[in-house]
Each structure stands twice: as C-alpha cells, then as structure tokens.
Amino acid sequence: MLKYSPDLLSSWRSMNPLLDFSGLPRYADFRPEYVTPAIDQLLEENRALVARLVADTAAPTWDSFVQPFEDASERLSRAWGQVSHLHSVLDSPELREVYNANLPKITQYYAELGQHEGLFARYQALAAASEFPGLSAPRRKIVDNELRDFRLGGAELPEALKPRFMAIQEELAQHSAKFEENLLDATNAWSKFIDNEAELAGLPEDARTMFAEMAAAEEKTGWKLNLQAPSFLPVMQFCENRALREEMYRAYTTRASEFGPENLDNTDLIARIVALRFEAARLLGFDSYAQVSLEPKMAETPEQVVAFLTQLAQRAKPYGERDMAELRAFAAKELNLPDLQAWDVAYASEKLREVRYAYSENEVKQYFQEPKVLAGLFRVIETLYGLEIRPDAAPVWHEDVGFYALHDKAGNLVGQFYLDLHARDTKRGGAWMDDAITRRRTPEGLQTPVAYLNCNNSRGVGGKPALLTHDDVITLFHEFGHGLHHLLTRVEDLGVSGISGVEWDAVELPSQFMENFCWEWDVVRHMTAHVDTGAQMPKALFDKLLAAKNFQAGMQTLRQIEFSLFDMRLHQTPGQNALALLNQVRSEYAVVVPPAYNRFPNNFSHIFAGGYAAGYYSYKWAEVLSADAYSLFEEEAAGYVGGVLNPEVGHRFWSEILAQGGSRPALESFKAFRGREPAIDALLRHNGMA
C-alpha cells in the first residue's frame, strides 16, 4: 500500500472537493472523475480505523470508540451524499457511470459494518459498562440504535450465511438504482410535438407558452409535450382533447414497463427486489420483510398497520363512493362523458370544482408567484420560531438553485439550505428533502446543519415569474417541514441529530404539520400577488378554495390507502405478483379503477428505489400525529391575535418535536408536546370525514 506524507495528503484533499469537509460542498469544482479516488480513499481510511478500534484492548468509551467511528462515518456519508444528490438532480452519462461503479463498494462497506462482530462486541461492551447510564440520553439512544441495527444488519448470523446476506444487500442496492434510472429514462424517452394549437384547447396560457418554449429550445415550431409533471399534469387537468389526455395517460402509466423499451422495463426488477428482501428477512429469522421494516418504526406489527389502514379505509370508502358517484353523474350530464375513464378523472374533477365552487385551479395559480410564496413561507417560519431567513452564498449545481441561511434573534447561524424548485430532464421526479450536513458538536465547535430542498415545479415562462398551483404550495411547505426537522434540531450527537434516528413512520409528522398553514387566510394572503396586477388574492376566492379543501377527500384518502396496503401486503407474503396484488387491493377499496394496461408498480419508486418499502403507510400514520399536533395551534388561536401563528405554541413544537430529533421515541416527543396520546379525530375532521 502506498504511503503519503501528511502534507501531500492534505494537498490531495484540497484538490478533490469530495475530500474537503471544512465547509459547504464545492459543487463548482465537482467533476465525475473525482468520485472513484475519493470514495476509494475514504473506504480505505475507514476500514483501517475500524481495524484499530476493534483491536483496542481497553474498555470502549464514547470518546475512544464511538466518536472516532462517527467522525469517519460522517466523512464518507458527506462525500457519497454529494454524489448521490447530483445523481438525483443533475444526472449525466458520466456521473451515472461512476455512481453505478461505486455504489457496490458503498453497499459492501455498509454490509460489512452491519455484520462486523468486532464492532458489535465493542458496542455491546459499551452498553454493559458501568459508565453507560451516565451517558446523555441521546448517546444512550445512539448505542441502543446501533445494537438494533447490527442485529438487522446480520451481525448475529452464522459465518456461513453472512456472505449471502452481504451479496443480497449489494444486489438490492444495484437493482434499486437501476429502477430509478429506468424510470427517469422512460419518462424522458416520450415526447410529442403538436402543430395545431386547437389540440391544446382548454390549457392555461402559461402551459401553452411553456410548451412553445420547449419546442423552440429544440429549434422546432409548435408545442412540445413530455411526461414531466409540469407538462403532464396540466394536460390531464385542463385539456379538452380527450384523445390527447388518453395518449399521455397511457404513456405515463406504462413507463418502465413491458409496453416500452425492453431495457427500461422494471417488471423483473420488482420481482427480484421483493424476493431478495424476503430472503434477507428469513436469514435474519423474520417471517417477512414487513416485520424487518417495522423493527425501527413506531408501528409494532404488520397486522397492526393493516388494521389501521383498514379502519381508515372503512371510514373513507362511503365518502369516496359518494365522490365518484357525483363525478360520474356530472361527467355524463355536463361533459358528455357517460363512460368516465381514468384519463378523464382529473379533467372532470376540475370542471366539477369550477361549477361547485365557482373557481378554477388556474385562476388560483395566477396569485401564487414563486418569490411571493417563498416570502410567505419564510414569514410563517420566522413568526413561529423567532428566526430570520435571508439569501446566502454557496456554490450550486444549477443556475436555478437558491441558497439561504437561518439566523436566530441574536444573529447566530442556525442552519442553511439549498432550494431547487424546478423540473428538468436531468432530475428525478417528485419532491424531497435530504441532508447535506448534520448538526453536531466537534472539537472545532458547533457544526450547523445544511439541507437540500427539492421540488419539480414549472419555471417561469414568457418573462414572468414561476407560478405554483395550490398543490405545489402545499408540497413546498411539506418539504420545508422536513427541512425544519433537520435544521432546527438541538441535538449535538450525529446519530440522533435532526431526522437521524427518527422512526420512519413519524418522520412525516413535521412535514404534514406544515401543510396545514396553507389553508389559513392569515398565511395565504401574505404569499399571494397576481402575476399581472400584483393584487392580493381576494378573500372571496380564498373562501372558495377553503370550501373545496375536502373536495374528493374520500377518493384521495382511498388512493393513499390503496398504495399503502399494496406495499404492506407485498412485503408480508412472498411470491406474489405485484400487479395482481395491486388489482386485488383495488377491488376492495378503489373507487377509481384504472385500465388493465396501467403499470403503477413499475414507477412506484418510493418502495422500490426509496426508503418506504413496507413503510408507505407512514404518510397516513404520521398524518394522524400531524393533524392532532396542529389542533393545539387551532385550540390556542382563539386567544391569540396572530391566530395559529402563535410563537408560544411554535416554540413548544420546536422544543418538543423538532429539537429532539431521534434522541427519544417519537411517541414520547408527541406526548410531551400534546400532553396525551395521539387521537384520530383531528385527521377525520381536517378531511371532512368526522
């Protein structure tokens, strides 16, 4: 092995931005060729450290054992985190190649750690030491979590089974990455050029302008459509051309399936991923992968989750059936659509909304200019938590990306975040938050957290600012809730700081909590200005929006339950055909039945390429917590001039929920805030199903 002098090593680290942990990521200096040498070096250093820690014959302590191990783990996490982030937001053939070349190394390393008997023994010795009760609660929680994760990582497996378990983890990581890449490539593979504007009748002007600009960017006339959300959703919601809606619906719902290029078909990947998960679960002594998934979550058993979802479905189904019956009757009578199909649902629903509530989504959209919405969002955070948010400077990966800092009243830096709001063909779909740097105490002082906040909204067109639908606004508030969970932690130990160590079915509490503010007039009025006149949204229009809040809530709730039950059942019983199982769930609870060619599982990246396998129910589980938490703001609003923007309750929410991170069980944090166990009543009331 080559030996490098400290000076030479320092020089190499400064040259390779992935090895520089002195501050923010150096995205301006990033090159794909930096990835492999950086990852190889960090893996070598980490393995050498692990060997030294395990060989140490002295009794393990936090400072001598856990701290150096966490330091090394953080360096690798931050370096690979930048690569993974860019793979999600600025994909390229060169980056994809090095990402996929290094992913097996990363996966193998973490699989090795999960099975490392020496590390496991050191953590066990620390937990059994007389000094252990004297550690802080967050540090005891970290050790307890590590012991649990070692067991789930195969540390207690017989030696003969460990290689197979490790091979499964590596193969799963590769298949999950391939699933997401196939979906991105399949999404980008479809486009349609239209020469006759009459085919776009009903579409809002800003959508037609965007489509014209997309065509012009390829030096073509007319309008270009694609399957990215800013293109697909307006067509489905507003376009009068039923044939075009059906064509785009079919293209969208058959992405990454047998109906497209064979090399992009996710069908076999789904079967293989699920089979490997079951095999890993059986090796660990569990009956199903669902049981493994629930080990670190609030819910205790798959049966408990299924019972929760079934109870909620039974409450929601009468409302969903009523919603669908009303929509069918309206479509037949008013839209000449006696045979309402899946590609008609969004269009007919928008027309029914316009008739029933006398407004359209497009009318509302004209008031939500992106800069104004951001200002309104920041106002909520600043009012509730006594913070100040202002633009900051940092290297970014795309010209659309913004960067901001949060300061407290004394001017101290609390955290920073990147804001990447716009869709592009190098960026995966959806919206998400991820951590760039996590809060912790180091010998150099307090390391402040940094977050990535990502959406896929439309850019501004025709020289106007970007416009957001109300749903886009809700999504932005949702992701910012995740961001605040990461940024406002007061925990200073890495393993339970921010979102780290939080039970997966509780991690949506802060995000869904933030959505509630999008339905408060005192919040909405401050983030609206008409794109042409600058006028604030009229209160009468907001009242219509609020009246329609629970429009088709039954249908929407059943849709989430459909996905959640499919996910849980798929991971409960081995050998099932994913599509057949989904159709079975739909036969029980769905009120919108899609055509036979629909291949939703093939693009369900949450469970096949994300962290939600046997955990998609978390959205509904956490919605109970978030609605109940928000109900305290509602209860206190009557006696406060600022309504729900009550800093006293806000600081209590910060102290008992956001600040705690994963340092204690989420249920304890909830009860400390609310003063009791969570109840489902507020969720049913918020959804009009009380």
Where does the pLDDT of residue 639 fall: very low under 50, low under 70, confident under 90, or very high at 90 and above? Answer: confident
CB 658 within 8 A of CB 489: yes
Residues 566, 560: Cα–Cα separation, whole Å: 10
CA distance 440 to 453: 20
Spatial contact of 152 and 114, defined as CB atoms under 8 Å apart: yes
Q: Which residues contact 663 (CB under 8 A, 6 or more apart)?
A: 137, 138, 141, 491, 493, 496, 501
| Mean of pLDDT values over 67-76 | 98
When pLDDT is averaged across residues 308-331 and rounded to a whole number, the result is 96
Q: Check residue 13 and give its pLDDT.
A: 57
pLDDT at 14: 66
CB of 645 within 8 A of CB of 658? no
Catalytic hit among 112, 146, 370, 479: 479
- The dihedral region occupied by 601, where left means phi > 0, alpha psi between -120 and 50, and beta the remainder, is alpha
Nearest to 589 by CA among 619, 610, 565: 565
Q: Which residues of 80-97 are buried (b: 16+ CB within 10 A; e: fewer)?
A: bbbbbbbbbbbbeeebbe
State whether the Cα torsion 402-407-412-414 is positive or negative: negative
pLDDT digits (tens, 9 = 90+) for 492-550: 999 999 999 999 999 999 999 999 999 999 999 999 999 999 999 999 999 999 999 99
- 565: three-class secondary structure by DSSP: helix
Longest dimension (CA), the chain: 81
pLDDT score of 53: 98
Under 8 Å between Cβ of 364 and 536: no
Residue 419 CA, distance from chain mean position: 14
Mean pLDDT across 204-224: 96
CATH numbers and ranges of domains, the chain: 6-182 (1.10.1370.40), 191-263 (no CATH), 284-339+550-690 (1.10.1370.10), 358-537 (1.10.1370.40)
Give whole-number Cα distances, 117 to 73, 121, 124, 417, in Å: 18, 6, 10, 38
Q: What is the pLDDT of residue 652?
A: 98
Q: In whole angstroms, what is the distance from residue 425 CA to residue 427 CA?
A: 6
Q: Cα(62)–Cα(67) distance, rounded to whole angstroms?
A: 6
Cα–Cα distance for residue pair 363/353, rounded to 1 Å: 12
Mean pLDDT, the chain, whole residue set: 96
Q: Tell me which H or E stretch contains 454.
A: strand 450-457
Contact yes or no for 224/215 (Cβ under 8 A)? yes
- Any residues with CB less than 8 A from the CB of 651 and at least 6 apart, and which? 384, 385, 386
pLDDT per residue over 5-45, tens digit each? Answer: 444 445 555 689 999 999 999 999 999 999 999 999 999 99
User: What backbone torsions phi and psi does residue 204 show, to the nearest 5 degrees?
Assistant: -60, 155
Q: What is the 3-state secondary structure (H, E, C) of 73-124?
A: HHHHHHHHHHHHHHHHHCCCHHHHHHHHHHHHHHHHHHHHHHHCHHHHHHHH
Nearest to 167 by CA among 94, 83, 97, 111: 111
> CB–CB of 187/193 below 8 Å?
no
pTM over 0.85: yes
Given a cut of 90, is residue 277 above it in pLDDT? Answer: yes
Residue 560 corresponds to which tokens in the numbers above?
A: 């989430």
List CB contacts of 282: < 8 A, sequence separation 6 or more.
none
Q: Catalytic residue at 479?
A: yes
Backbone angles phi, psi at 333, to 5 degrees: -80, -45
Compute and round to an integer the Cα radius of gyration of the chain: 25
Task: State yes or no: pLDDT of 2 exceeds 90.
Answer: no
Strand-pair category, 413-422 with 450-457:
parallel
What separation in angstroms does the CA of 70 have from each of 10, 66, 140, 430?
Answer: 21, 6, 14, 31
- Whole-number Å distance between alpha carbons of 349 and 345: 6
Give residue 336's identity as a one-letter amino acid code.
N
Distance CA 490, CA 403 (A): 22
Regarding beta strands 440-442 and 388-391, do their DSSP bridges make them parallel or antiparallel, or are they unpaired? unpaired
- For the cut 90, the answer to whether the pLDDT of residue 48 exceeds it is yes
Q: What is the mean pLDDT of residues 547-572?
A: 97
pLDDT digits 0-9 by tens, 124-171: 999 999 999 999 999 999 999 999 999 999 999 999 999 999 999 999
Q: Using one digit for the tens of pLDDT, what is the confidence trace for 416-456?
A: 999 999 999 999 999 999 999 999 999 999 999 999 999 99
The answer to whether 179 and 605 are in contact (CB under 8 A) is yes
Of 623, 550, 519, residue with least CA distance to 322: 550
In sequence order, what are the beta bridge partners of 225?
192
Residue 534: closest CA among 335, 403, 348, 366: 366
The Cα–Cα gap between 485 and 514 comes to 11
Measured N-to-C along each axis, helices 267-283 and 578-589 cross at an angle, to the nearest 10 degrees, of 90
Q: What is the pLDDT of residue 549?
A: 95
Task: State which amino acid sits at residue 632.
Answer: L
Q: Which amino acid is at 370?
A: E
| pLDDT tens digits, 226-256 | 999 999 999 999 999 999 999 999 999 999 9
* Contacts for 487 with CB less than 8 Å, ≥ 6 apart: 406, 414, 415, 417, 449, 451, 498
Question: What's the pLDDT tens digit per position in 606-632?
Answer: 999 999 999 999 999 999 999 999 999
For residue 690, what pLDDT band results from cuts at 50, 70 and 90?
confident
Q: Where are the alpha helices (DSSP H) in 335-458?
A: 342-357, 361-365, 370-385
CA distance 309 to 620: 8
User: For residues 594 and 600, is the Cβ–Cβ distance under 8 A?
Assistant: yes
One-letter amino acid of 554: G
